Amino acid sequence: MSWAAGMYLYSEIPSAGNSPLASLVLNPAGRHYEELKAHMTASYEDVYFDEDALYMERNSRDFRRRIRVINANTEAVCDFLRSRSLMDGKVKSPALKEVFYPKWTTGDNYEHCRITGTDGEQAGGFGGLFSLTFTSLSASRAFFDALSCQKGPGLGTNFTLACPYTILAHYAELDWAARYGVEEGLVRISVGMEDMSTLLEAVGKAVEAAEAEVVLPKASS
């Protein structure tokens, strides 16, 4: 699926347990707590579909195993991407500018929430979600189009998803988003549980396609 087509597709798996979820927590110390609590008590209606609840419970049973695979896959992919980016500094004319991933981005904040592995718990990873920026818009488009994975604005699935996030979220306000550092060519990827070598091969081909779009400076005569 091409960059442009990615703007319009939201792929849902036709199976139970794939419904969007939300939650709300009221802070008892908040100044509006009593008012909000009274409103929620009076207006709350439990409309959660029974079968969705059953699938949620079933899918949660091996969550720890799944997230360990996703963490390992994502870290391997991001390590590779960073090695081919401006962040690494070793590639002569990189197509990748930056890899936004907790391993390198706001690491101190992330460590405050990360499971440390004490008391028999396995240490937590950096999650399955990251974003990429590129040295040119054409490189971003080439990477996205060449990346062999499902395309759509989801995350947390067992399979890898990629989307042109800024185009999807801010298509009518790209200049506004750019003022806050959100680049038009940003690509967001949610990594799944595919074989790691297969993932790395797919990402490598996408990087090669992006690097083919980099215009090298002409040698002086």
Contact at 8 Å (CB) between 99 and 74? no
Selection from 221, 203, 176, 220 nearest residue 99 by Cα: 203
Whether 120 shows a pLDDT value over 70: the answer reads: no
The per-residue pLDDT for range 35-60, each reduced to its tens digit, is 999 999 999 888 888 998 898 899 88
Looking only at the bridges linking them, the beta strands covering 187-190 and 96-100 are: unpaired
Whether the per-residue pLDDT at 67 is higher than 60: the answer is yes
pTM for the model? 0.78
What's the average model confidence in pLDDT over 49-73? Answer: 91
* pLDDT digits 0-9 by tens, 132-185: 999 999 999 999 999 999 999 887 789 999 999 999 999 999 999 999 999 999
In this structure, whether the domain defined by 63-211 belongs to CATH 3.40.50.300 is answered with no
Q: What is the overall mean pLDDT for the chain?
A: 86
**Residue 3 Cα distances to 138, 150, 196, angstroms:** 11, 12, 25
Whole-number Å distance between alpha carbons of 185 and 206: 14
Give the residue extent of every domain in the chain: 63-211
The pLDDT tens digits for 13-40 are 333 344 455 678 899 999 999 999 999 9
